[in-house]
Amino acid sequence: MTEKFLRDFLILWTTIDPIGSLAIFAAVASRLGPEERRRVAIKATLYAAGILIGAIVIGQILLSAMGIRLISLQVAGGIILFLFGLRMIFGSDLGGDAGGKERGHDIAVFPLAVPSIATPGAIMAVIVLTDNHAFPIGVQVGTTLVLLFVLGVTVLFMLGAGRILKVLGNNGSAILVRVMGMILAALSIELVMDALNVFRWIEEQP
């Protein structure tokens, strides 16, 4: 059982990527004040927790009912991530106003909660790791606690982003936005390619 939870931790750490989420948070929240950054970090983590726990509870049933495969979810997430990466590279105003909003939406929801923290990979991971056909309720609860621990580390990292922004300054923050945009674009392509490779492997099976 310990090995199972350790494996779950490693998978969730990799797919949620608290360090990557910190970098994205530092980029998109660079124009916010300390209190607003704190509020956005907490809200984003709570939203992501709701999404991922929801995926644990009803994700498998919902996808099956709608006829959606996990591969399709990964491709869709990759495309969304790619488009957001392009916006970062070409200089869209991602920070928004002091209220943390841009054209009526909250950056705590997009891009922080989705797809930065609750990534397509993380959503797929929690569904697979809590498969109703493979794991009893007790094990699923344990995996959920592991998930909450990783999310707790993520929010702690984001709450410490102020120190990073002080070191970077305005010019450094602008550079960070472009660099993270390039990394996100590359990551999104990897997500799509991985999904297509899995799909090709499935199709080749007798």
The pLDDT of residue 152 is 97
Pick the closest to residue 184 from 78, 106, 25 (CA basis).
78
Task: Please state the rounded mean pLDDT for residues 125-143.
Answer: 87
What distance in Å separates the CA atoms of residue 175 and residue 167, rounded to the nearest whole number?
13
Residue 125 has pLDDT above 80, yes or no: yes
Read off the pLDDT of residues 1-56 as tens digits, 9 standing for 90 and up: 788 899 899 889 888 888 888 888 988 887 888 999 999 999 999 999 999 999 99
What distance in Å separates the CA atoms of residue 88 and residue 133, rounded to the nearest whole number?
41
Residue 164 has pLDDT above 90, yes or no: no
111, amino acid identity: P
Q: Which residues contact 54 (CB under 8 A, 6 or more apart)?
A: none
Q: pLDDT band for position 142 (50/70/90)?
A: very high
Predicted TM-score (pTM) above 0.75: no
The pLDDT of residue 198 is 64
Q: pLDDT band for position 170 (50/70/90)?
A: low
Other Cβ atoms closer than 10 A to 50: 12
Sorted by where each begins, the domain ranges of the chain are 2-6+14-204
What distance in Å separates the CA atoms of residue 35 and residue 47, rounded to the nearest whole number?
18
The pLDDT of residue 158 is 94
Q: Which residues contact 87 (CB under 8 A, 6 or more apart)?
A: 94, 181
3-state SS string for the chain: CHHHHHHHHHHHHHHHCHHHHHHHHHHHCCCCCHHHHHHHHHHHHHHHHHHHHHHHHHHHHHHHHHCCCHHHHHHHHHHHHHHHHHHHHCCCCCCCCCCCEECCEECHHHHHHHHHHCCHHHHHHHHHHCCCCCCCHHHHHHHHHHHHHHHHHHHHHHHCHHHHHHHHHHHHHHHHHHHHHHHHHHHHHHHHHHHHHHHHHHHHCC
Is 140:79 a contact under the CB 8 Å cutoff? no
What is the pLDDT of the chain when averaged over all its residues? 81
The pLDDT of residue 197 is 78
Residue 111 has pLDDT above 50, yes or no: yes
Question: Which residue(s) pair with 105 in the sheet?
Answer: 102
The pLDDT of residue 151 is 97
Read off the pLDDT of residues 57-110 as tens digits, 9 standing for 90 and up: 998 788 778 887 767 776 776 787 687 778 778 865 554 443 444 455 689 998
Residue 206 has pLDDT above 70, yes or no: no
Question: Structure tokens of 34?
Answer: 């300390």
Residue 204 has pLDDT above 70, yes or no: no
